[in-house]
């Protein structure tokens, strides 16, 4: 059980020695206090099929190793065997809680490769849906994260409100989760009658709800004790580890692709990039909460200024981009989501690479949890906000 599992310990030690605990001497593996625990892939708090091997001293984490790939579907290989338009729905299956963002990134990347630009109205619709999706993703994150830390109730509140967003998606494109809302060159669907009104109503509806979540958690002593100074990561560390999104911003780096290299219509809206100071779990929580509010701001502006006009650019029926390659990235709810597409002039991408934010952010787990307790591992996995569909692709 504890010690008798020397075999297991050695197996893990063998795979992890250099990676998990480079600074530990090998003989510590035989120390009587060490315990190797396998968290996942079937574990309620690993948000899917993530497997984390924990090396513990009592309850203190000495090192971790993530074992991923349980959800690998070979998205990049599939892309090479599909036409550009056919591959579009596949990207929704990566970060399935933010499918709209995935689609947005892909469509914009291909448009860039084709050297076309979506019409203004399409861009606005894209922004509205992508920001709604950001709120939905953050709500889902908040609910599950709070559940991991032991607060059951916020989950149900966030899911109740996320439902309203999904209803808008469903009315717009017929799907709730994997939406396939956009097409290369713009949008396929015009907004439905009453879209603006519903979105505005949603903004009105959800603003007090966000305050409600905060009322439950922000000032809660136990919540603060569980999240403050837990999983601290500094700004330079984040940059070195390639961590992006709310995690980076919570560490004090004010960087958002929407501001730094604006895409869609983001340059036309006023919004702020919330940043944290300490880079702990609590800051990441606060950053995401204010991000939801900023998203509402963007949505409001976009709905009020929704221009008239076509929603589809002139794109040939058969999409055949010229030979060349492009890298395009957007700010997905998880971080920088990039698409690197190499075209050989045919209808199928020669090579399509997805730069998944969850995958890169997950690397920071080891840095963040060392020296913390098992309970914190759960909190930190939650706070990185990974979606295994995107990590494994």
Partner 1 sequence: MARTMAVNYGSQTMAEEIKPPVLLSSSAQKTGGETSAAKAASGKAATAKNPEGPVPIPWAAPLVEKYRSQYGSGLEAQTYLGQNYVTVDSSLIPNFLRQLRDDEQFDYCVDITAVHYPKREKQFEVIWILYSFARNERLRVKVHIADGASLPSSVSIWSSTNWLEREVFDMFGIQFVGHPNMTRILLPEGWKGHPLRKDYGILQQDQEWVQINLGIESGQ
Partner 2 sequence: MPDFVTSYLGSTLTPGEAGNQFWALVYVFVIFAGVSLAVMSMNWLERKALAHFQIRLGPMRTGPHGLLQPIADAIKLLLKEDIIPAGADRFVFWVAPLIGLLAAFTVYTVIPFGPSQAVSDMNIGILFMLGVSSLGVLGVVVAGWASNSNYPLIGALRSSAQMVSYEVAMGLAVVSAILMTSLNETGTGTLSMIGIVRAQQEQGVWFIFKFFPLGLIAFIVFAIAMVAETNRAPFDMAEAESELTAGYHTEYSGLRWSLFMLAEYAAMISVSSIAVTLWLGGWMRPFSRLLRGSAWDLIFSLFPAVTFMGLAAVAFVGVVRMPRRSDFKVQKIGLAVFGWLLGFIALMLLIIAIAGRSNGAAIPSTVNQSIGYIYWFLLKVAVFMYLFIWYRATWPRYRFDQLMRVGWKVLLPISLTVLVATAIVGILLS
Partner 3 sequence: MNSAINATNATMAPVATPYFFYGLATLAIVSAFLVITRRNVVHSALALIVTLLSVAGLYLMLYAPFVAGVQIIVYAGGVMVLFLFVIMLVNIDRSYKEKRFSGLWPIGLAAASALFTLFLFAFIKGRALFPDRMMLLPESSNTQQIAGLLYGDAGKMGQYTFAFEIASLLLLVAILAAVVMTKKRA
Could you say whether residue 52 binds partner 2 (CB under 8 A)? no
Residue 75 or 125: which CB sits closer to partner 1? 75
Contact range with partner 1 by CB under 8 A, out of 69-77, 158-166, 175-183, 196-204: 69-77
Shortest separation between residue 2's beta carbon and partner 3, angstroms: 6
Give the DSSP letter of residue 140: H
Could you say whether residue 4 binds partner 3 (CB under 8 A)? yes
Contact pick of 17, 28, 218, 220 for partner 2 (by CB under 8 A): 220
Shortest separation between residue 372's beta carbon and partner 3, angstroms: 17
Half-sphere exposure of 280 (CA within 13 A, CB side): 12
Residue 1 burial by CB count (10 A; 0-12/13-18/19+): exposed, middle or buried? Answer: exposed
- Angle subtended by helix axes 120-149 and 99-114, to nearest 10: 150
Residue 318 burial by CB count (10 A; 0-12/13-18/19+): exposed, middle or buried? Answer: exposed
* Binding letters toward partner 2, positions 135-154, x by CB under 8 A: -----------xxxxxxxx-
24 cis-preceded (ω within 30 degrees of 0): no
Per CB under 8 A, contacts with partner 1 among 73-112 are 74, 76-77, 80-83, 86, 112
The C-alpha atoms of residue 105 and residue 110 are separated, in whole angstroms, by 9
Could you say whether residue 7 binds partner 3 (CB under 8 A)? no
Give the DSSP letter of residue 355: E
**318 interacts with, out of partner 3, partner 2, partner 1, none, CB within 5 to 8 A per kind:** partner 1
- Sign, CA torsion 380/382/384/389: positive
Are 255 and 276 spatial neighbours (Cβ–Cβ below 8 Å)?
no
Contact range with partner 1 by CB under 8 A, out of 27-35, 43-51, 193-201, 238-246: 238-246
302 vs 139, 164, 299, CA distance in Å? Answer: 21, 18, 5
Contact pick of 23, 32, 42, 304 for partner 3 (by CB under 8 A): 32
Residue 265 or 377: which CB sits closer to partner 2? 377
| Mode of pairing for the β-strands spanning 34-39 and 349-355 | unpaired
Task: Name the 3-class secondary structure at 134.
Answer: helix
Are 145 and 168 spatial neighbours (Cβ–Cβ below 8 Å)?
no
Could you say whether residue 376 binds partner 2 (CB under 8 A)? yes
Spell out where 68-202 has E strands.
Answer: 182-183, 186-187
**3 interacts with, out of partner 1, partner 3, partner 2, none, CB within 5 to 8 A per kind:** partner 3
Could you say whether residue 322 binds partner 1 (CB under 8 A)? yes
Query: Using only C-alpha atoms, what is the Rg of the chain?
Result: 22
Could you say whether residue 166 binds partner 2 (CB under 8 A)? no
Could you say whether residue 373 binds partner 2 (CB under 8 A)? yes
Contact range with partner 3 by CB under 8 A, out of 2-10, 46-54, 137-145, 210-218: 2-10
Half-sphere exposure of 220 (CA within 13 A, CB side): 18
* Binding letters toward partner 2, positions 328-367, x by CB under 8 A: ----------------------------------------
Could you say whether residue 363 binds partner 1 (CB under 8 A)? yes
Could you say whether residue 345 binds partner 1 (CB under 8 A)? yes
CA 68 to chain CA centroid, Å, is 16
Q: Which residues bind partner 2 (CB under 8 A)?
A: 1-2, 35, 37-38, 43-45, 59, 146-153, 155-157, 160, 216-217, 220, 222-223, 225-226, 373-378
């Amino acid at each position: 059980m504890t010690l008798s599992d020397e075999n297991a310990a050695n197996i893990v030690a063998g795979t992890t020695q250099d990676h998990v605990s480079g600074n530990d001497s090998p003989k510590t593996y035989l120390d009587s206090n060490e315990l190797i625990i396998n968290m996942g892939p079937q574990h309620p708090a690993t948000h899917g099929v993530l497997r984390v091997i924990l090396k513990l001293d009592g309850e203190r984490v000495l090192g971790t190793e993530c074992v991923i790939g349980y959800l690998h579907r070979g998205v990049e290989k599939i892309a090479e065997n599909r036409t550009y338009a056919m591959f579009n729905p596949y990207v929704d299956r990566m970060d399935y809680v933010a499918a709209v963002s995935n689609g947005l990134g892909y469509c914009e990347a291909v448009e860039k490769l084709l050297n076309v630009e979506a019409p203004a109205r399409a861009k606005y619709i894209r922004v509205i849906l992508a920001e709604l999706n950001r709120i939905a993703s953050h709500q889902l994150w908040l609910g599950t994260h709070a559940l991991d830390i032991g607060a059951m109730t916020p989950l149900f509140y966030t899911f109740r409100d996320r439902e309203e967003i999904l209803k808008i998606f469903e009315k717009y494109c017929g799907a709730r989760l994997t939406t396939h809302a956009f097409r290369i060159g713009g949008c396929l669907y015009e907004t439905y009658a009453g879209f603006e009104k519903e979105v505005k109503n949603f903004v009105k509806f959800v603003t007090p709800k966000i305050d409600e979540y905060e009322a439950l958690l922000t000032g809660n002593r136990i919540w603060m004790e569980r999240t403050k100074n837990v999983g601290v990561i500094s700004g330079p560390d984040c940059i070195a580890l390639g961590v992006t999104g709310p995690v980076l911003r919570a560490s004090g780096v004010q960087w958002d692709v929407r501001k730094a290299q604006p895409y869609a219509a983001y340059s036309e809206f006023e919004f702020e990039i919330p940043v944290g100071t300490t880079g702990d779990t609590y800051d990441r929580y606060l950053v995401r909460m204010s991000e939801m509010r900023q998203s509402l701001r963007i949505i409001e502006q976009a709905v009020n200024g929704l221009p008239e006009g076509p929603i589809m650019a002139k794109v040939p029926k058969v999409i055949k981009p010229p030979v060349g390659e492009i890298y395009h990235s957007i700010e997905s709810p998880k971080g920088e989501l990039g698409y690197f597409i190499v075209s050989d002039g045919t209808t199928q991408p020669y090579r399509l690479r997805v730069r998944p934010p969850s995958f890169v952010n997950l690397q920071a787990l080891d840095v963040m949890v060392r020296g913390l307790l098992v309970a914190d591992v759960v909190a930190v996995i939650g706070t990185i906000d990974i979606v295994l569909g995107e990590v494994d692709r």
